């Protein structure tokens, strides 16, 4: 795995392969960033954004965001092994001043963070996870999003989730096994 673009382009990222954590493929990640940069449906830019990377794993999305000029990324990862690899990646890439890492359940972080607001939300829960929809509800309930914001969710292609009660879907893209949903809170 590597950083695709920006000031850290070409730098490697450590990752783990297990049944709990699956890294975001470089091709899927590149497509997400192309949509963020070039779609006229999205009113948020990476540069100077405050990003919340939930179920962050080894931090592939958030680290790519830092490389592309994000102001700050808050990583929330419950799995200790993934969180340890994430910490190693942060040190390896020397981006400690641009990140906050939380080794906790996403729900606990959201319930305790009612002040900081974010422009970009990236959720990459395990494909079998359904509880993340409650996390979307907490984000909306606590209004921790800026007026200009985007929600990006990575799911398995065949997964059926009902997001319509939580946010407006702007577009959905499919790449192999992955489905990427882009939306905004109403």
Residue 95: which CATH number?
A: 3.40.50.150
**Does some domain include residue 14?**
no
Q: What's the mean per-residue pLDDT of the chain?
A: 92
Q: Worst-scoring range by mean pLDDT, 56-60, 96-100, 124-128?
A: 124-128
Residue 14's nearest CA partner among 88, 97, 94, 79 is 88
pLDDT at 2: 92
**Does some domain include residue 158?**
yes
Q: What percent of the chain has pLDDT over 70?
A: 96
Residue 93 domain boundaries = 26-184
- Which residues fall within 8 angstroms of residue 90, CB to CB, at 6 or more apart? 59, 63, 96, 99, 101
**Strand-pair category, 99-102 with 118-123:** unpaired
**Does some domain include residue 106?**
yes
**Does some domain include residue 1?**
no
Its pTM stands at 0.94
Query: For residue 135, what are the CA distances in angstroms to 33, 79, 87, 93, 132?
Result: 23, 17, 24, 29, 5
Q: How many structural domains compose the chain?
A: 1
């Amino acid at each position: 795995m590597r950083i695709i673009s920006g000031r850290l382009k070409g730098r490697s990222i450590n990752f783990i392969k297990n049944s709990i954590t699956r890294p975001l493929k470089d091709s899927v990640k590149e497509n997400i960033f192309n949509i963020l940069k070039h779609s006229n449906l999205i009113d948020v830019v990476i540069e100077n954004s405050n990003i919340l990377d939930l179920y962050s794993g080894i931090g592939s999305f958030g680290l790519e965001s830092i490389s592309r000029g994000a102001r700050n990324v808050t990583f929330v990862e419950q799995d200790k092994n993934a969180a340890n690899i994430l910490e190693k990646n942060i040190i390896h890439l020397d981006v400690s001043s641009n990140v906050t890492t939380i080794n906790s359940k996403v729900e606990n972080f959201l319930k305790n963070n009612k002040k900081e607001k974010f422009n970009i939300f990236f959720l990459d829960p395990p494909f079998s996870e359904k509880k993340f929809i409650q996390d979307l509800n907490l984000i909306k309930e606590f209004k921790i999003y800026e007026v200009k914001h985007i929600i990006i969710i990575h799911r398995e292609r065949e997964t059926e989730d009902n997001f319509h009660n939580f946010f407006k879907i702007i577009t959905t893209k499919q790449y192999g096994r992955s489905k990427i949903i882009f939306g905004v809170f109403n």
